[in-house]
């Protein structure tokens, strides 16, 4: 942590090599967040580049009031929203699958069902307004606390909580209308039961 503070301090003073170390440390997280915001790799690449470039330019004014990663996610979500507004397009519906399921998990059929459910969730996410998608990604993908999301989005913690609740309610509504939420419940319960009976 102290090392990273030192690297950030050097980058703030204009040391590009130090900044490169920060890029290497955060490029995957930033790219994945951008990918979930935009829905396709080309846009995600552009957004991630833009976010890092904004970070480089703005580093002299980064005061460390939030974590560096939180600040970076903030720049990423802003860059993604800017891109989508600039290009006047919705987040692409193109689906990029998540992590490959482990081999020792549920049966192939359950895995297939689960994969389908995840695709439906990602599809539903893309139908949400940007501000809802943004808080859900920061919370459930980047695992930021309410306070950190507030710092990233410059919102009071209470607003973050209420926005998250509304986002989840809308997502649930989309999934319920397509029947996927209840499907997901049954898949999860089946898996849990399966795990319980295993020795």
Partner 1 sequence: MNREERENDVLEQLLRESLASDAEPAEDFTARLMEQVRRTPQEKAKKQPYQKILAALAACAVIAAAIPLVMPRASNQAATSADSAAPEMWEEANGADTADNQLVYSTAPTNSSEEDFDAAGQQDRKQDYGAGDTVTLTGQEAGVAREALEAMAVEPISAGDGSVVYDLTREQAAALGETVDALHGIDGGVTLILEVEE
Does the footprint of partner 1 cover residue 68 (CB under 8 A)?
no
Beta carbon nearer to partner 1, 48 or 84: 48
- Which among 69, 28, 78 has a CA at the least distance from the CA of 51? 78
Question: Judged by CB under 8 A, which of 125, 152, 153, 160 binds partner 1?
Answer: 125
Does the footprint of partner 1 cover residue 175 (CB under 8 A)?
yes
Beta carbon nearer to partner 1, 81 or 137: 137
User: Per-residue b/e over 134-158, b at no fewer than 16 CB within 10 Å?
Assistant: bbbbbbebbebebebbbbbbebeee
How far is it, in rounded angstroms, from Cα 184 to Cα 171?
13
Give every CB contact of residue 186 below 8 A, 6+ residues apart in sequence.
none
Question: Judged by CB under 8 A, which of 80, 84, 91, 171 binds partner 1?
Answer: 171
Question: Judged by CB under 8 A, which of 7, 8, 38, 59 binds partner 1?
Answer: 59
Angle at which helix 130-140 crosses helix 68-86, to 10 degrees, equals: 150
Radius of gyration of the chain (CA): 19
Does the footprint of partner 1 cover residue 112 (CB under 8 A)?
no
158 contacts 147 by C-beta, under 8 angstroms: no
Does the footprint of partner 1 cover residue 31 (CB under 8 A)?
yes
For partner 1, which stretch binds (CB under 8 A), given 12-20, 75-83, 86-94, 152-160? 12-20
Beta carbon nearer to partner 1, 59 or 83: 59
The Cα angle at residue 39 between residues 55 and 103, in degrees rounded to 5 = 105
For partner 1, which stretch binds (CB under 8 A), given 43-51, 65-73, 77-85, 149-157? 43-51
Question: Judged by CB under 8 A, which of 5, 28, 158, 178 binds partner 1?
Answer: 28
Question: Judged by CB under 8 A, which of 5, 9, 57, 89 binds partner 1?
Answer: 57
How far is it, in rounded angstroms, from Cα 183 to Cα 176?
9
118 contacts 112 by C-beta, under 8 angstroms: no
Give residues in contact with partner 1 (CB under 8 A): 14, 16, 19-20, 23-24, 27-28, 31-32, 35-36, 41, 44-45, 48-49, 52-53, 56-61, 63, 96, 98-100, 114, 117-119, 121-122, 125, 136-137, 140-141, 168, 171-172, 175, 181, 184-185, 188
């Amino acid at each position: 942590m102290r090392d990273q503070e030192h690297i950030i301090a050097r980058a703030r003073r204009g040391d590009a090599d130090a900044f490169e170390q920060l890029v290497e440390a955060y490029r995957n997280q930033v790219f994945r967040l951008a990918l979930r915001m935009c829905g396709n790799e080309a846009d995600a690449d552009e957004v991630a580049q833009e976010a890092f470039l904004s970070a480089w330019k703005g580093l002299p004014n980064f005061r460390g009031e939030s974590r560096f990663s939180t600040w970076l996610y903030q720049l990423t979500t802003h860059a993604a929203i800017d891109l989508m507004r600039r290009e006047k397009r919705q987040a692409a519906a193109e689906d990029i699958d998540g992590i490959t399921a482990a081999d020792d998990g549920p049966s192939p059929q359950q895995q297939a069902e689960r994969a389908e459910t995840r695709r439906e969730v990602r599809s539903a996410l893309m139908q949400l307004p940007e501000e809802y998608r943004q808080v859900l990604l920061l919370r459930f993908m980047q695992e930021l606390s309410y306070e950190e999301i507030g710092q990233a989005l410059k919102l009071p913690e209470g607003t973050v909580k209420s926005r998250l609740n509304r986002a989840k309610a809308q997502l649930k509504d989309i999934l319920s209308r397509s029947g996927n939420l209840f499907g997901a419940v049954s898949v999860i319960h089946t898996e849990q039961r399966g795990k319980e009976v295993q020795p």
